[in-house]
Amino acid sequence: MLHLLKYRFLQIVRDYQMLFWALGFPMILGTFFYLAFGTLGLESTGESRWDGISVAVMEENTDSENAKAFLTFLNEIDGDTIQIQDISTEKEALSQLKEEEILGIYYVKETPSLTVGKNGLYESILTSLLKTYNLNASLIQEIAGTHPEKIPQALDEMSDYRQVIKEVSAGGKEMNPNVQYFFALIAYACLSGVFLSVKATFDGQANLSPLGARRSITPTHKLTLILMDMLLLVIIHFINILILNLYIVKVLGISLGDDIPSLLLVNFMGSTIGIALGIAFGCIGRFSMELKLGLAVVITLLPGFLAGLMFGNMKNIIETHCPIINRINPAAVLSDAYYYLSIYNDTAKFHRCLMILAFMSIGLVIIAFLGIRRERYDSI
Amino acid sequence: MIQIQNLVKRYGDLVALDHLNLTIKEGEVFGLLGPNGSGKTTAINCLLSLLRYDKGSITIFGKEMHPDSYDIKKQIGVVMQNVAVFEQMNVQENIDYFCGLYVKDKEKRKELVEEAIRFAGLEDFRKMRPKKLSGGLLRRLNIACGIVHKPRLIIMDEPTVAVDPQSRNKILEGILELNRQGSTIIYTSHYMEEVEQICSRIAIIDHGRVLATGTKEELKRMIKTGETITIEAIVLDDTTLSEIRQLPHVFDISYEEQTLKVRLSSAKHNLIRVLHYLQEQDISFGRVFSELPTLNDVFLEITGKELRD
């Protein structure tokens, strides 16, 4: 068994063309991203000049203690995390929100609320601020009543809020909206496992290649060959993704967060999805390998595009008009998972991503397995 | 050893195998001769349980063949029509990999791989990748991968396609050597010379049916042609051609581009009789040669078409 694994491993890693598509191309693309807007992104978000997120504050009912405390809370962080704009009417605020001149509207009332125009990093921070306030409302009310000037200091101690702000202030890189491109890039790289597995499927199916026929008539059980191939492909592609992670973190200097076990888990699921997708696709129809590899470019780039690989705001547009696509597009789910891991520490949403990825992995592995387990064919 | 009974395989309306019947005995070099598209490869793929078939039965070593007949597969070696090796592995690694699919014991495998390399004459190329090998060497590697585990039954599907004559002879010698070592061989080809050279028994197949089976001699005896006389650079008119057709034992003539071909049934002095007639008519001619029937003649007579049509 080890003998067969060894040779199959050699065969896969020596297939430089497929490895280029699975690893080399995403690395080159990442380098281009970095060169094209890496520095620009940092400047635009202000590593050295952070002005805060522009918001409007609508005072609907300031009679209650909670509303007063929330207003104090907002005023204390004005100029730091947020930048309250001088807008007096809700109509004007909504109009500016639509024009993206402000990114959110806080409503000061008994139960404070927030309206945002879209989903993105800054909107996530605004949401997180409100959430942090709600979770710690009684404490903040007390501080607001006695020492309002100490609110920012108190906020620093509050975990959810601190995590977001810490990410923002720790050099500003994570605030770079362009970092989303790198998450989409890793997601795309995960799907690029398709190239490795399409090729491997050709090598294993008697109706697709002479090599597949030769391997199918040996006394080694087909299930053994399939599982061996799948295992090796997932491991090899997992290593590819780890190399890409290292390149992005160590060479390009983009943080993927500190939660290494979760990062590895997402990488593993992403690799599994890419490989299984390729196997399932590889055994459909009897097209030439060249055509299938051509189509593989489409089935990796299209989800990547929809996840924001070429146009950063794509995922938000889809979220507004057809959110289901973001739930079923593996690249979008993977990119979200990397985002929640490295920037916006939302455990619930991260777990939702993990669940979706787990379902996708298992589902695709089952489909792939059913596709390649055939031992006899109608035509060869 | 192998029994194929009433095998039917259809691709939609096309009948690829039409109640094919074959019996192959242990120790034979059995030739499956037929033109392209006659059903040879389909029959082999059905035999190996790679293809679903509509009707019939296949038994190998006395047991019915199924996709999960691993005990049977263990004793079969296959040399595919197309070269089936990994481009990313060198000669030795390829042979070792395929051997590993049959033989688990490391020492035994090492021994077998060396033997296969020697057998295929690939000693000097063991570290070379397939891309660097010539067509002939590549075919030899393809054969080495198929026979490395010393199978009891070797199926070779046109293993010499696109091979130079020197490599072809080496391959054919190798096949006979494998047979001498005890392997039964099924050899499919549309090269009648090869089949004639190495096969002890031959089945002629066309349109998915076996048209005739037997040894070379038996097959040749089945047909009318006993001798074919070819006369080059000869100018004949219709009357003369008609008279030649009337000569004793002549049953068919063809005349194209000043070349006359006369087919005669088996009889003494056929050539002398034809030449004597030409001398009497004072007809001059160039080269003359006489041939005994070939498998091509057998095929031509049985199917009405040339083998390489």
Do A376 and B80 count as a contact with CB atoms less than 8 A apart?
A: no
Domain range list for chain B: 2-220, 224-292
Residue in B74, B80, B96 nearest the CB of A214 = B80
Q: Quick one: pLDDT at residue A173?
A: 37
Domain boundary among A170, A200, A220: A170
Interface test with B, best of A13, A17, A217, A236 (most B CBs within 10 A): A217
Chain B residues closer than 8 Å to A375 by CB: 49, 67-68
Q: What type of residue is A346?
A: D
Distances (CA, A) of A337 to A309, A323, A346, A351: 15, 16, 10, 8
Do B88 and A11 count as a contact with CB atoms less than 8 A apart?
A: yes
- Indicate the average pLDDT of chain A: 82
If you measure CA to CA, which chain A residue comes closest to B16? A379
Closest CA to A43 of A181, A180, A173, A179: A173
Q: Quick one: pLDDT at residue A171?
A: 35
Do B52 and A217 count as a contact with CB atoms less than 8 A apart?
A: no
Residues A81 and A150 in one domain: yes
Helix H or strand E segment including A357: helix A347-372
CATH of residue A140: 3.40.190
Query: Token pair of B246, please?
Result: 């009337």
Any domain includes A304: yes
Residues A166 and A207 in one domain: no
Chain A residues closer than 8 Å to B73 by CB: 217-219
Q: What's the CA gap between A314 and A320, in Å, rounded?
A: 10
Question: Is residue A172 a contact partner of residue A50, using CB atoms and an 8 Å limit?
Answer: yes
Q: Quick one: pLDDT at residue A39?
A: 52
pLDDT tens profile A74-92 = 887 887 778 889 888 889 9
If you measure CA to CA, which chain B residue comes closest to A210? B84
Chain A residues closer than 8 Å to B60 by CB: none
Q: What type of residue is B138?
A: L
Domain that holds residue A217: 2-41+174-372
Residues A231 and A362 in one domain: yes
Place of tokens 């996708």: A360
Closest CA to B226 of B173, B279, B265: B265
Q: What's the number of domains chain A is made of?
A: 2
Q: Quick one: pLDDT at residue A195?
A: 92
Residue A286, pLDDT > 90, answer: no
- Rg over alpha carbons for chain B, rounded to the nearest Å, is 23
Domain boundary among A170, A189, A223: A170
pLDDT tens profile A193-243 = 999 999 888 888 888 888 988 998 999 888 888 888 889 999 999 999 999
Give Cα A170 to chain centroid, integer Å.
21
Do B101 and A210 count as a contact with CB atoms less than 8 A apart?
A: no
Helix, strand, coil abundance in chain A, percent, nearest 5: 70, 5, 25
How many Cβ atoms from other residues are within 10 Å of residue A1's Cβ? 10
Give Cα B59 to chain centroid, integer Å.
22
pLDDT tens profile B208-234 = 999 999 998 888 888 888 889 999 878
Any domain includes A48: no
Domain boundary among A114, A141, A170: A170
Chain A residues closer than 8 Å to B74 by CB: 219
If you measure CA to CA, which chain A residue comes closest to B41? A380
Residue in A214, A221, A379 nearest the CB of B84 = A214
Any domain includes A246: yes
Length of chain B in terms of residues written = 309
Q: Quick one: pLDDT at residue B54?
A: 93
Residues A249 and A344 in one domain: yes
Mean pLDDT, to the nearest integer, of A344-356?
83
Helix H or strand E segment including A12: helix A2-13
pLDDT tens profile A138-161 = 777 777 777 777 776 676 666 444
Residues A279 and A203 in one domain: yes
Interface test with B, best of A6, A376, A377 (most B CBs within 10 A): A376
| The B29-33 sheet, strands edge to edge | B76-79, B153-157, B184-189, B29-33, B201-206, B209-214
Any domain includes A158: yes
Q: Quick one: pLDDT at residue B25?
A: 94
Residues A104 and A120 in one domain: yes
Instruction: Read off φ and ψ for residue A377, nearest 5 degrees.
Output: -120, 160
Residue A167, pLDDT > 50, answer: no
A-side interface with B, Cβ within 8 Å?
Answer: 3-4, 7, 10-12, 14-15, 203, 206, 209-211, 213-222, 375-380
pLDDT tens profile A87-132 = 888 899 999 888 888 999 999 988 899 998 877 778 878 888 888 7
Helix H or strand E segment including A349: helix A347-372
Mind spelling out the 3-state secondary structure of chain B?
CEEEEEEEEEECCEEEEEEEEEEECCCCEEEEECCCCCCHHHHHHHHCCCECCCEEEEEECCEECCCCCHHHHCCEEEECCCCCCCCCCCHHHHHHHHHHCCCCCHHHHHHHHHHHHHHHCCHHHCCCCHHHCCHHHHHHHHHHHHHCCCCCEEEEECCCCCCCHHHHHHHHHHHHHHHHCCCEEEEEECCHHHHHHHCCEEEEEECCEEEEEECHHHHHHHCCEEEEEEECCCCCCHHHHHHHHCCCCEEEEEEECCEEEEEEECCCCHHHHHHHHHHHCCCCCCCEEEECCCHHHHHHHHHCCCCCC
Place of tokens 């923002």: A168
Beta-carbon-side half-sphere exposure of residue A41 (alpha carbons within 13 Å): 20
Do B97 and A4 count as a contact with CB atoms less than 8 A apart?
A: yes
Residues A203 and A304 in one domain: yes
CATH number for the region B224-292 comes to 3.30.70.100
Mean pLDDT, to the nearest integer, of A276-287?
85
Chain A residues closer than 8 Å to B9 by CB: none
Closest CA to A185 of A75, A315, A331, A360: A331
Residues A207 and A319 in one domain: yes
Interface test with A, best of B40, B41, B44, B51 (most A CBs within 10 A): B51
Chain B residues closer than 8 Å to A215 by CB: 101
Q: How confident is the model at residue A177 (pLDDT cuts 50, 70, 90)?
A: low
Any domain includes A235: yes
Residues A178 and A228 in one domain: yes
Length of chain A in terms of residues written = 380
Residues of chain B with pLDDT under 50: 309
Alpha helices by DSSP H, listed for A247-329, are: 260-282, 289-306, 314-321, 323-328
Q: ipTM of this predicted complex?
A: 0.80
Mean pLDDT, to the nearest integer, of A291-318?
88
Q: Quick one: pLDDT at residue A315?
A: 83
Do A14 and B83 count as a contact with CB atoms less than 8 A apart?
A: no
Do A7 and B11 count as a contact with CB atoms less than 8 A apart?
A: no
- Rg over alpha carbons for chain A, rounded to the nearest Å, is 25
Q: Quick one: pLDDT at residue A46?
A: 36
Residues A17 and A72 in one domain: no
Residue in A11, A210, A378 nearest the CB of B84 = A210
Any domain includes A377: no
Q: Quick one: pLDDT at residue A379?
A: 76
Residue in B45, B82, B93 nearest the CB of A10 = B93
pLDDT tens profile A20-74 = 988 999 999 988 888 876 554 433 333 444 567 889 999 888 888 888 888 888 8
Question: Is residue B74 a contact partner of residue A217, using CB atoms and an 8 Å limit?
Answer: no
How many Cβ atoms from other residues are within 10 Å of residue B132's Cβ? 12
Residues A18 and A59 in one domain: no
Q: Quick one: pLDDT at residue B85?
A: 94
B-side interface with A, Cβ within 8 Å?
Answer: 11, 45, 48-52, 67-68, 70-71, 73-74, 76, 78, 80-86, 88-89, 93, 96-98, 100-102, 106, 109, 145-146
Q: Quick one: pLDDT at residue A60?
A: 86
Q: What's the CA gap between A100 and A118, in Å, rounded?
A: 9
Question: Is residue B261 a contact partner of residue B229, using CB atoms and an 8 Å limit?
Answer: yes
Any domain includes A340: yes
Any domain includes A300: yes
Q: What's the CA gap between B184 and A372, in Å, rounded?
A: 32
Residue of higher predicted confidence among B37 and A176 = B37
CATH topology for the B2-220 domain: Rossmann fold (3.40.50)
- What residues pair up with B256 in beta bridges, in sequence order? B259
Residues A153 and A190 in one domain: no
Which residues fall within 8 angstroms of residue B252, CB to CB, at 6 or more apart? B262, B263
